[in-house]
Structure 1
């Protein structure tokens, strides 16, 4: 079953060339209507990453790309945003919402230009959608906003592909291997001791070295993903090279390069588990 877009997004052809069932079909309707609020600066690569995983779920999903109303990205053309994105409050018929991360780990939330608008989205989301999926920075921001859990800065950027454990049985972790690896990449995170102890939250998937990966609020049907199942094989490598070129002196990504040889990229096996997690979320809470 296809992923359907009502606007002719350029990445559709790229994903079709990979053999994925994703199509521009303005008059078709999906069984699930999903909003995708894209906060990442490089919109087009984020579109490719997450639409790939959604297409690999095998579900009939109608995806609407959403944008903030009071903030204009500097690294994506205004023409792209105008042609392919809708204002976040323009759709009242969506079943679920995904909110991406953003490279803002070194900023206090109140320093973020669109923080007040994002707080409005957080507050409205519980009323407007069956379920919301918060990703990476957005997950940490939601922990802060909804539960008062502060964020801690790390001494070094967390970057690598880490082993995880499924901590408890839940429909969202069904079919996920007991021991699974996922990429992480961040400078800051919700304080882990408060996250694990908070009465409204349940940690489903955890890494000894990277902390929580998947967390749920089962009453409000919120899913929080703190790693990056959408990353391609070279994403961590490109981040590492970018940080070096910017003079940041980063540490190499951990447990990532094959045989610890810089540039020897792994197979992105984590994508299959990311697609399975999305499928479970949609079937269990969104649909």
Structure 2
């Protein structure tokens, strides 16, 4: 089944070219189906790229999915137009009275800051608290995962000697957990971050399960009540995302190492090979099925789709 996004959203054209089933609200309203309402808090600077990456994965499911994008009210985004945010995004104050089946909180390139020094940290903590009784299941990605571990479970982050960037091998600690159903015993995933979290603190926490780990440290952490899923890497990344980040950092003059296990023959002139695509789709489809669809109540009185205003309503 399709994902439901506005007709004018730029990501729509990209997804349709990839033959991903995208539906607009007019057509979706004619189907007698209870769709899943998913909220995405997009903290990444290049929001349109992240939109495509996440929508591609959420669209690979037999479920109909309504998407609402959220941006921070207390932060001015520099890499996306104001009109794009006004047309396709909501703010916390406009959704706080609604209930959602699932939510994704993305990463953000701000690991060098203490959590309390992030200019939207107070707003983010309000949102994370709100999810406890307004969202069935929340997936947190990279810095979003570190923020969740800190806020919900008191586990901080620590700085790495150098940036963790590349494609790393991972294993599963418990194959019986539904989130990794169908995963290979060894699989690969991209990481891109300057900080990490303590394996020891996760293992010792009574409310957490370290589900998967590998060469880059703890990778998938899940709360034992299955409310929160923390993914410290970027399974949603495109094949060339790490290459783009590497080139960007070089242009900034940063002392940066080439992403590990990424470019063939460690030659930045060669095209990287995607070794994580199937597990990306599997993770998101398992999350949607087992942690959102199977767990969310059917009643729609508390599960209302937040309509994104049409462009003319902003005129």
Give the TM bin, normalised by the shorter chain: over 0.9
2:172 is aligned to 166
Give aligned pairs, total.
Answer: 286
Choose which of 150, 157, 165 in structure 2 pairs with 1:151.
Answer: 157
| Cα-to-partner distance string for 1:63-97 (whole Å, 9 max, x where unaligned) | 11112222221211100000000113433132111
Q: Point out where structure 1 has 5 or more consecutive residues left out of the alignment.
A: none
Distance 1:276 1:22 in 2: 19
2:54 is aligned to 50
* SS in structure 1 at match of 2:51: helix
Distance 2:228 2:120 in 1: 22
Distance 1:252 1:122 in 2: 34
Choose which of 61, 65, 81 in structure 1 pairs with 2:85.
Answer: 81
- My pick for the range that moved more, 84-93 or 272-281, is 84-93
Alignment of 1:112-261 (within 5 A): 112-168=118-174, 169-207=176-214, 209-261=215-267
Per the TM alignment, residue 107 of structure 1 is displaced from its structure 2 partner at its CA by: 0.6
Asked whether the 8 Å contact 1:40–1:103 carries over to 2, the reply is yes
TM value normalised by structure 2? 0.87
TM value normalised by structure 1? 0.95
Per the TM alignment, residue 147 of structure 1 is displaced from its structure 2 partner at its CA by: 1.1
Per the TM alignment, residue 261 of structure 1 is displaced from its structure 2 partner at its CA by: 1.9
Q: Point out where structure 2 has 5 or more consecutive residues left out of the alignment.
A: 294-315
- My pick for the range that moved more, 255-264 or 102-111, is 255-264
| Cα-to-partner distance string for 1:197-253 (whole Å, 9 max, x where unaligned) | 21211111111x201111100215211111111111111111111111111121111
- Does residue 272 of structure 1 match 2:310? no
User: Radius of gyration: which is bigger?
Assistant: 2
1:93 is aligned to 99
